[in-house]
Amino acid sequence: MKKVIDASLAVKWYVAENYTAEAEKLLDGSFDLHAPELIIPEFGSIIWKKIRIKDLTAPEGSQIIDVFRKQKITFHSHAPLAKVAFTGAQMTGQTVYDWSYLALAVSLDCEFVTADERFYKALEKTRLKKHLLWVGDI
C-alpha cells in the first residue's frame, strides 16, 4: 500500500517519542513509502535540533542519518509539486514544506501520513482529509 511520509513521522523510527510504535508499523514491508526529496534536509534538521538540545549525541545523530538514507523510500523531485504546494499554503496558512508532502500524496492518489499535529488539524475537516492520515491512526 502506497503512503507518503514526512520527516515528523520518519524521525519516530529512530527516536522514542509519542506514536513511535505506530510509526514503526510503516516499516513492516507492506507499505510502499514515498516522500518529496525535501524530507532529507528536513529530517536532518530535526536530528540536528535533537543533538543541540542534548536528546542525541553527534555520533548517534550521524548514525541515524546514515540509516535513514538507506530506508526504502521513493524520493520525488520537489519541482513538479511546487506550484500546488505554494497555492495550498496560501489558501490554508500552512507551510509550503508541509504542503509539498500533501501535494505528492494527491498526485499519487494515496494518503500522507504525518505526525505534524498542527498541519493535520488544520486540514482534517477539508476535502483533502481523504489524503491525510494521522500517525496515531495507522
Which DSSP string corresponds to 105-117?
HHHHTSEEEE--H
What whole-number distance in Å separates Cα of residue 59 and Cα of residue 67?
12
Dihedral pair phi/psi, residue 103, rounded to 5°: -60, -40
Its pTM stands at: 0.93
Banded pLDDT at 123 (limits 50, 70, 90): very high
pLDDT of residue 101: 98
Q: Residue 29 — very low, low, confident or very high, per pLDDT cuts 50/70/90?
A: very high
How large is the average pLDDT for residues 64-76?
96
Percent of the chain with pLDDT over 90: 98
CATH number, domain 2-137, options 3.30.70.270, 3.40.50.300, 3.40.50.1010, 3.10.20.30: 3.40.50.1010
Write out the E strands in 1-138: 2-5, 32-36, 73-76, 111-114, 132-134
Q: What is the band of 88 on the pLDDT scale with cuts at 50, 70, 90?
A: very high
